[in-house]
Structure 1
Amino acid sequence: SCCHGNRNHLEDPPPEPKAHAGSTCSLSIRYGPILQFKLSDIGEGIMEVTVKEWYVKEGDKVSQFDSICEVQSDKASVTITSRYDGVIRKLYYDVDATALVGKPLVDIETESSPELTQEEDVVETPAMAHDEHTHQEIKGLKTQATPAVRRLAMENNIKLSEVVGTGKDGRILKEDILNFLSKQTGAILPPAPFQEIRPPPAAAAAPKSPPAAMPQAPPTPKPVFTGKDVTQPLTGFHKAMVKTMTAALKIPHFGYCDEVDVTRLVALRAELKPVAEGRGVKLSYMPFFIKAASLGLLQFPILNASVDEACQNITYKAAHNIGLAMDTSQGLLVPNVKNVQMLSVLDIAKELNRLQALGASGQLGTADLTGGTFTLSNIGSIGGTYAKPVILPPEVAIGALGKVQVLPRFDSAGQLIKAQIMKVSWSADHRIIDGATMCRFSNLWREYLENPACMVLDLK
């Protein structure tokens, strides 16, 4: 199988010695052994992944640690890197195709000595940390660029090492690639927009009317819709959502809704926001919501628990790993902030900034997406007031936060005032959590937010 798929991609050998007709094995011996680079087990019991992007094409030279492709499981995105120096001779999968663990990913014609064996053709790249996913090693220099920028450079045969980055810390941006290309080839014109609806050819000209008749307006042709239905398999995170929500359907959900007057919290956040920005942290309301939930879980630990499939045993989780439902280009993801019970509001804000940056670039790792014990969904950041959140197994409770609205309310003296009101919708596993417990937790959580000064007494 070492010669499979290479007869159309190998360069013609020199005139002598002449290779035997119909044989490509002699070519592989001449230029070095061709090894099948297999997709290794990336953990978490994952047996298949979706190829999201190729960073190489057939005929490209690669060095050790160069990025080969990006794959996506139902848990995280992973970048596969090369272990060998050589030339890519075959890509086994197209973009969006499903690759199987243990099966060949690419064929690499190596430039190394023959002691390389097929047993070494497995590369395992763990989920990348925040700084790793934007780096690429090029001839000893570390060049920072996102996968989309690297792909743009590859398609235009541009070496990233020759491009001057104008982004933060010298990062190469898309504009840098386009500017570099325009200096070589002139201005770049944007592609023409795709038109789904186009009118048919104009009808043949009607015969001329007699001079005495009124001119007739030509009939207006009706537009013809040429769009087609598209069917695609569910892959990656969408496939994971199907599996998770199907399991959630087995849980009897108990719902509870309330409203929270966050007028004081709005004022407090306005005071602390410039202080946080001075420390390089963007401060939203979510760190307060998450910390208040953690303080409530200390009093009601059953909401931070899980039950086994047979519902015979309950496990109380020591860590408060509070998840945040996040809307991304890849779909709904729920990364979580680890050990909230040990973090300050500012610490939580820093971690949220990191998770949101990774989510926006599609680079959330397995460690960030697993291990959650309790979840909040900030649906109000998009719109809406009430929701019916679905529990994320094996968790037993989830909250959905509506948007903050200015509404009329009465103060303690009976005077009509403007108040900042937010709706909250809770769902709990009614097999182990009763309505009174959910209500008491919600009341405590609401008290912390309506009187943020009370939070100071219980912060650790």
Structure 2
Amino acid sequence: MSNFEIKIPELGDFKDVEVIEILVKAGDQIEKDQSLVMLETDKATMEVPATQAGELVSLSVKLGDKVNAGDVVGKIVAKPVSQVESSENKTTPPAQETTTIITPTSIPVSPNNYISHASPSIRKLARELWVDLTHVSGSGVKGRITDRDLKGFVKSIVQNDGIKNALPEIAHDDYSSYGDVEERTLSRIQKISGPRLHASWVNIPHVTQFDEAEMTTINRLREEHKDNGNKITPVAFIIKAVTRVLKDFPVFRSSLLESDKKLIVKNYYNIGFAVDTPNGLMVPVIKATDKLSLVQISTEIIRLSDLARQGELKKDDMSGSVFTISSLGGIGGTAFTPIINAPEVAIIGLSRSYVKPVFDGKSDWIPTETIPYSLSYDHRVIDGAEGARFIVSLSEAIKDDATYK
């Protein structure tokens, strides 16, 4: 058997974080990723998960203790392989009760990927049941949502005919009867992002508008920077232009609180950008783009993209965005309809640039590189006229030298 230390994970800038809940005790059989203790900072709660399955032989912290990143707080003895296989081969007898399936239209879904005051197991169950935990009242310590709270909420929905208009499940054939098939497991990122994208699509009335912008200014400035030894990615220019336009259209950097029927307008400019990685799509965030130069933004794009592809992004690297840009320009295509990165209310999708003739207003047609883009937005918050004004302003900003100074 192998012994594994339980260490407090990275806590960012927080120190002396308080232990507010002990979820296990010595002698318990622990599964990998099971939460062991809950910590609380002045901003949020967080769990310390087990990195190994086995028996918990010791836990040295108690309620109220202060801990820091790297502190050893317990020890787990790993399960023997035979024991793990034995537990995995156990079968559970079928339940006798009738199971009611709750689907997305039954219960509102929260787009947030972090719910305070609920353990990972509760959050996991809530996602499976398509429950927005912001609608559930917690009866636990400090308002924590318990298993009983969640199941009681679901029961009340069912009893109130909350599933009458549920979407039908997709029927699947026995595909192997038609030919050879193979089964592939979704990546961890796909397992996480899939439900979030589905929740965004189901809960947000998307509208997408399309436009094009001239790349003449961007191409000229890229060459000037290149002569000075700086290679600037085109996305850096778009981020700069989007930041400028967001200052004039604050509703595009807001989030809708449906329960309170309020908009939260964010007076900061953190821009997310989608990165294609071997394991799936990730969205790192560049902070305070209104205070960064083109070179600084381009440097951040390269740095965060490398971390994303290496699977080394931290939570802070993917948090706090007010607007997202998704670029397929390096691959191809003329247009697409990006899904909003909820709880944001809008997203830009960049397609591959191309050269087209543009009339100079006199007598000549000038070959001009143009980038097509798509703006998807939440129609509950943004109407068509406002969307049109936004893309007109963005197209003007992209070709304006003043945007990049």
What's the TM-score once normalised by structure 1's chain length? 0.52
Matching residue within 173, 189, 193 for 1:241: 193
Is 1:252–2:205 an aligned residue pair? yes
C-alpha change, 1:276 and 1:297, in structure 2 (3 Å) is farther
**Shift of the alpha carbon at 1:347?**
1.4
Unmatched runs of 5 consecutive residues or more in structure 1: 1-5, 7-33, 45-91, 109-116, 127-225
Q: Give the corresponding residue for 1:434.
A: 383
Contact 1:290-1:322 within 8 A present in 2 as well: yes
Matching residue within 55, 58, 64 for 1:118: 58
Contact 1:39-1:105 within 8 A present in 2 as well: no
Contact 2:205-2:380 within 8 A present in 1 as well: yes
Q: Which amino acid in the other structure matches residue 59 of structure 2?
A: E
- Please tell me whether Structure 1 or Structure 2 has the larger radius of gyration of its CA atoms: 1
Q: Deviations over 1:275-326 (max 9, x none)?
A: 243xxxx311111100110010100011001011436011011111101011
**Shift of the alpha carbon at 1:409?**
2.2
Is 1:267–2:220 an aligned residue pair? yes
The number of equivalent residue pairs is 262
Matching residue within 319, 323, 333 for 1:374: 323
C-alpha change, 1:345 and 1:231, in structure 2 (3 Å) is closer
Matching residue within 243, 251, 259 for 1:310: 259
Contact 2:9-2:70 within 8 A present in 1 as well: no
Q: Give the corresponding residue for 1:37.
A: 5
C-alpha change, 1:388 and 1:431, in structure 2 (3 Å) is same
**Shift of the alpha carbon at 1:125?**
6.2
**Shift of the alpha carbon at 1:43?**
7.6
- Counterparts of 1:223-242 in structure 2, within 5 Å, are 229-232=182-185, 234=186, 236-242=188-194
Q: Distance in 2 between matches of 1:107 and 1:248?
A: 37
C-alpha change, 1:104 and 1:331, in structure 2 (3 Å) is closer
C-alpha change, 1:366 and 1:258, in structure 2 (3 Å) is same
Is 1:99–2:33 an aligned residue pair? yes
C-alpha change, 1:274 and 1:43, in structure 2 (3 Å) is same
SS of corresponding position for 1:260:
strand
Q: Deviations over 1:112-143 (max 9, x none)?
A: xxxxx8225999669xxxxxxxxxxxxxxxxx
C-alpha change, 1:104 and 1:348, in structure 2 (3 Å) is closer
**Shift of the alpha carbon at 1:362?**
1.6
Q: Distance in 1 between matches of 2:184 and 2:11?
A: 30
Q: Give the corresponding residue for 2:43.
A: none
Contact 1:397-1:429 within 8 A present in 2 as well: yes
SS of corresponding position for 2:339:
coil
Contact 1:248-1:391 within 8 A present in 2 as well: yes
C-alpha change, 1:390 and 1:106, in structure 2 (3 Å) is closer
Q: Distance in 2 between matches of 1:230 and 1:320?
A: 42
Unmatched runs of 5 consecutive residues or more in structure 2: 13-29, 37-49, 62-66, 72-178
Q: Deviations over 1:13-54 (max 9, x none)?
A: xxxxxxxxxxxxxxxxxxxxx74534767789xxxxxxxxxx
Contact 1:36-1:106 within 8 A present in 2 as well: no
Contact 2:328-2:351 within 8 A present in 1 as well: yes
The two structures, once aligned, show a CA RMSD in angstroms of 3.1
Q: Distance in 1 between matches of 2:286 and 2:254?
A: 16
Contact 2:334-2:372 within 8 A present in 1 as well: yes
Contact 2:232-2:294 within 8 A present in 1 as well: no
* Percent identity for Structure 1 against Structure 2: 31
Q: Distance in 1 between matches of 2:357 and 2:51?
A: 65
Q: Distance in 2 between matches of 1:306 and 1:367?
A: 19
